[in-house]
Structure formats: C-alpha cells, structure tokens
C-alpha cells in the first residue's frame, strides 16, 4: 500500500533569520557514499544527504554528510542518552529512506522526525517529488529486510527493534 506524502505546514519551523516569516524544513535522506542513491536500510547507514527547504523558495541547498559508526540511527535510537540536538539527522523534520522498521519510525517520531520509506532511488528526485506533493511512501509494515544478508547484526533483532 502506498500513500502520497507532502510537506504540510506543520513541518516548517520558524528559523532565526533576518527575514521575517522565514519558514524552513530540513529533510534527511539515507544514501550511498556518493549521495546519488537512496540507501535500502536506514539503521546502519553512515551517509545522509541533508536538504534545506524554504516554504516560499523551495529547495535552497543540500549537503552530503558522513557520520561515524557510533552515530548510525540504529545506535542512536537504542541509546537512552541520545541528545537529538547533537545529530544533524535527528534535527531534521523528515527522513526518507529505502527501508525502515516500525520501531525506528516510532522512536524517530518521538524525537520530532517523520520517517518515510520510499521506492524512489534518486535522493534529489525524491525530495523534488516531496516538495511537489507527488512522492509515494510505502507502508512500513510491508518491510521485510533480512539483516543476515547485508550486515553483521550480532544482537539478534529484527527491523522493528524487538530483541529476541
């Protein structure tokens, strides 16, 4: 099941700016190291493309960042001492990724980040579609990602973050 997602007015945050009514949103996208393909799994990714979107001007800039292994979403979301203000992705209003479980979606929501699983492969195109209101999000309950094929995952849990 897919639904169209768009940036609604509540996502834009008042920014400290010389311009009055400067409303901006920050969108983080999990990517490969070149920043040109959306990563298939949010949890262990270290590359993110961060987009700045102005409510009136649209996309105003983007940058590719790399986080260290301790600051992957998986590690941050499982650490009770995580300060969202210290991580650029957690200060975003929206996260787009190729795969994410409900546990991570719920934890991110508590930090003020709306996470969406998308089929779009190109991060720039995904953000343009998000701005245009035409980006399709996939129901995360259909996410069936096997950790055994793609990463070492020694603590034995699935995409929903439930420990076994």
Domains of the chain (ranges plus CATH)?
Answer: 2-142 (3.30.420.130)
Residues 100, 158: contact at Cβ < 8 Å? no
Predicted pLDDT of residue 84: 84
Which pTM value belongs to this model? 0.78
Lowest mean pLDDT among 62-66, 77-81, 96-100: 77-81
Antiparallel, parallel or unpaired: β 94-97 and 114-118 = parallel
Residues 144, 14: contact at Cβ < 8 Å? no
Chain segment 11-70, per-residue pLDDT in tens: 655 444 444 455 788 999 999 999 999 999 899 999 999 999 988 888 999 999 999 998
Q: Which of 42, 21, 161 is nearest to 94 (CA)?
A: 42
Which comes out higher in pLDDT, residue 33 or 6?
33
pLDDT band at 113 (very low <50, low <70, confident <90, very high): very high
């Amino acid at each position: 099941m897919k639904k169209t997602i768009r940036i609604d007015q509540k996502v834009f945050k008042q920014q400290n700016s010389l311009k009055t009514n400067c409303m901006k949103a920050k969108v983080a996208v999990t990517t490969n190291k070149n920043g040109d393909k959306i990563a298939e799994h949010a949890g262990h990714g270290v590359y993110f493309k961060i987009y700045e979107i102005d409510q009136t001007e649209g996309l105003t800039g983007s940058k590719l960042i790399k986080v260290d292994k301790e600051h992957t979403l998986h590690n941050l979301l499982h650490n009770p001492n995580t300060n969202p203000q210290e991580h650029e992705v957690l200060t975003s209003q929206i996260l787009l990724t190729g795969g994410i479980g409900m546990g991570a979606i719920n934890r991110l929501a508590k930090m003020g980040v709306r996470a969406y699983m998308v089929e779009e492969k190109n991060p720039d195109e995904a953000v343009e579609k998000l701005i245009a209101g035409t980006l399709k999000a996939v129901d995360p309950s259909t996410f069936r990602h096997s950790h055994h094929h793609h990463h070492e995952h020694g603590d034995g849990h699935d995409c929903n973050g439930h420990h076994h």
